Amino acid sequence: MIHKIKALYDEGNGLKIRAIARQLGISRNTVRKYLRMDEAAIEVRQSHRERRKQLDAYRDYIVTLLGQFPNLSAAKVLYKLQQKDPGLKVSERSARRYVRRLKETVIQCQKRYYEPVVESVPGVQCQVDGGELRGVLIGGIETTVYFVVFVLSYSRLMYVGLSRRPVDTATFIRLHDEAFRYFGGRPEECVYDQSRLVVLGEQYREVELNQRFAAYATGAGFRIHVCEGYDPESKGKVEAGVKYVKRNGLDGEVFDDWEHLEQHLRQWLDTVANRRVHATTGRVPWVRYEEGERSHMQPYLSPAFLGEQAPVESRKVDKTGLLSWCANKYSAPRAYQGTRVGARAEQGVLILTDLESGREIARHRLSEGKGEIIRNSDHYRDKEARIADLETGIAGLVGEETGARLCALIKATNPRIYKDQLSAVRRLLAAHVPLSKGLVLRLCERPSLTATACRDYLEAYEADPSRFEPNTPEAVPPSTSSVYELERYALITANAGGRP
């Protein structure tokens, strides 16, 4: 502050005292006081600054804890710190003063524009980010290599997972499994940007997680921390790690095949990336990890489902909505025409998935032949538009309000086959125009309605319209065989001279 005031004043050639005070948000008397001080007085003042607190090394971690649990006591904060660092010698009184000061000056007052980075506590955080590098020569062919970088915030130990195709949810989970087995344990939380592999949507900082990945994180036992948008400081270590992998690990290398690339990258991690002296910590990541972080990592076991699920392969859907699989072609939903989808075979079924979210979009029974085309007719039409057309058609036959009631009743009865039921009911009603208002009202008043029941009512109405006039009891529509038996009985009694 003193040097800034001196620079703005510039020995009378710069801003006036009033302007300096206004710009820096301090009083004019403060500006005058510092302008009167000579260099010797300034040096004395700087040398008597408040000394560094012992807990300053853990400040970001404490801020993170208090941000998640605002009512956490100082004693509990100290307990968690001593779990991470048994050699920490701080009294509870000192911890209470330090935590109280943080709550007053940071948690309540300071307006934070990014999440604090937890780097001083071992075993807490791993930062994760993906990247790609085009034009890598593999077998003489320019290839795009996709990868995901994992960096432990404390030791800076790094792992890089590779993928031949754009990383989907299944691959993302597999690479996490590889990274945690490479580290020999898992951290308490992993930090991500707002990739659709982790987050499907966000509103008011409320995120909708990719449920498949969230299920894996829950099973593995780590927290998911999602950075706010456009906030590179929240995971700056791994952002730098992605550049480091491209420039130091892959650039300028030529590979015979994919296995050669995997072998090279693993050797690069073990002999270069994790064995160099890190510019920030001044330590070798492997040494810092072995000495101070490995014992704080949580145990990790690969979830059972990872070994059960078949690998997902990327397939191009052509303009006709078909993709190739084992010498046959299978249809994909219309929205995916001209794009790529994930495909995997399990127990005689071909399962198609969205590559970004991992969501299942279709499934087909695998064909044993060759050169066959297996289609799902729903993939070539807009089901919602078809339903809307059918509802409009029924409303045109019986009236808008009555049609809405009728459609709602059909949907409540059989929601899974609603479209087929609507199609059948519209066809039946159209065949019996003009329709009796009393008949239609009787249909709407039923507790449930199917196309079969509608057909029986219409046939009963044709046999005896008077039974459906207003103010008459509701008749149970006889079946076709019942109508035939009644007519036969009337004919027999008439021939016998009796009354029908």
Instruction: Transcribe 286-302 into DSSP letters.
Output: HHHHHHHTGGGSBP---
| pLDDT, position 269 | 94
CA–CA gap between residue 406 and residue 121 (Å, rounded) = 64
| pLDDT, position 94 | 85
Structural contact between residues 84 and 296, judged by C-beta atoms closer than 8 angstroms = yes
| pLDDT, position 211 | 84
Q: For 49-67, what is the mean pLDDT?
A: 73
Share of the chain above pLDDT 70, in %: 80
Q: H or E element: which one contains 329?
A: strand 328-331
| pLDDT, position 328 | 92
Mean pLDDT, the chain, integer: 80
CA–CA gap between residue 385 and residue 177 (Å, rounded) = 43
The most confident of the ranges 78-92, 103-117, 428-442, 464-478 is 428-442
| pLDDT, position 82 | 80
CA–CA gap between residue 333 and residue 336 (Å, rounded) = 6
CA–CA gap between residue 15 and residue 8 (Å, rounded) = 6
Instruction: Transcribe 56-91 into DSSP letters.
Output: GGGHHHHHHHHHH-TT--HHHHHHHHHHH-TT----
**Which residue would you say has higher pLDDT here, 84 or 492?**
84
| pLDDT, position 112 | 39
Confidence of residue 42 (pLDDT cuts 50, 70, 90): low
CA–CA gap between residue 166 and residue 144 (Å, rounded) = 9
Confidence of residue 475 (pLDDT cuts 50, 70, 90): very low
Least confident segment among 83-87, 193-197, 269-273, 290-294: 83-87
Angle of helix 480-495 relative to helix 451-463, nearest 10 degrees, comes to 20
- What's the pLDDT tens digit per position in 306-328? 655 566 888 999 988 999 998 89
Q: H or E element: which one contains 7?
A: helix 2-9
| pLDDT, position 273 | 92
CA–CA gap between residue 378 and residue 331 (Å, rounded) = 10
Confidence of residue 1 (pLDDT cuts 50, 70, 90): low
Residue with tokens 């300034």: 42
* pLDDT at residue 10 tops 80: no
Q: For 277-293, what is the mean pLDDT?
A: 90
Report the Cα 182 to chain-centroid distance in Å.
25
Amino acid at 116: P
- What's the pLDDT tens digit per position in 175-222? 999 999 999 999 999 999 878 888 877 665 566 788 888 889 988 999
- What's the pLDDT tens digit per position in 17-32? 888 888 887 888 888 8
| pLDDT, position 101 | 80
Q: For 404-431, what is the mean pLDDT?
A: 90
**Which residue would you say has higher pLDDT here, 243 or 9?**
243
The DSSP bridge pattern shows strands 125-138 and 141-152 to be antiparallel
Confidence of residue 81 (pLDDT cuts 50, 70, 90): confident
User: How big is the chain by its Cα radius of gyration, in Å?
Assistant: 36
| pLDDT, position 324 | 92
* pLDDT at residue 166 tops 80: yes
Report the Cα 376 to chain-centroid distance in Å.
28
Looking from the CA of 441 toward its CB, the CA atoms found within 13 Å total: 10
- What's the pLDDT tens digit per position in 336-381? 988 999 998 876 789 999 887 778 889 898 887 888 999 887 776 6
**Which residue would you say has higher pLDDT here, 190 or 14?**
190
